[in-house]
Amino acid sequence: MAGVKRRDLAERDRRLGAATLGDLEIQGVDVFCWCNRCGHNSTLATGRLVAELGRGHPVPEVGARLRCSRCAGKDVATRPAWPSLGQVARHG
């Protein structure tokens, strides 16, 4: 049964597709980068990335072109830098 679910999820992901730099540019959202080697993180301006890579470049693939400025590692993950809601202290 797990194989069926895995195939269904993979098909859904393929149909939805990854966010592109153009999508983020329209929404005014930058790109959050995380080094999987040392944990260093940073945010890159979407406008600069669009100028270098183009609007159609998928956001998750940006990391493959980056190198960590702290440890020089090439294992960098990228995602949209969605605005934070700030610290949440209490609910209810």
Domain boundary assignment for the chain? 18-80
Mean pLDDT of the 71-87 span: 87
**What's the order of all strands across the beta sheet hosting 31-35?**
41-44, 31-35, 76-80
- Please give the biggest Cα pair distance in the chain: 46
pLDDT for 50 equals 97
For residue 91, pLDDT over 90 is answered with no
Note the residue count of the chain.
Answer: 92
pLDDT for 16 equals 73
Distance CA 47, CA 67 (A): 19
pLDDT in tens, 16-74: 778 999 999 999 999 999 999 999 999 999 999 999 999 999 999 999 999 999 999 99
- What are the Cα distances from residue 75, in Å, to 1, 14, 33, 84, 88? 33, 23, 10, 25, 31
For residue 14, pLDDT over 70 is answered with no
Whole-structure pTM value: 0.74
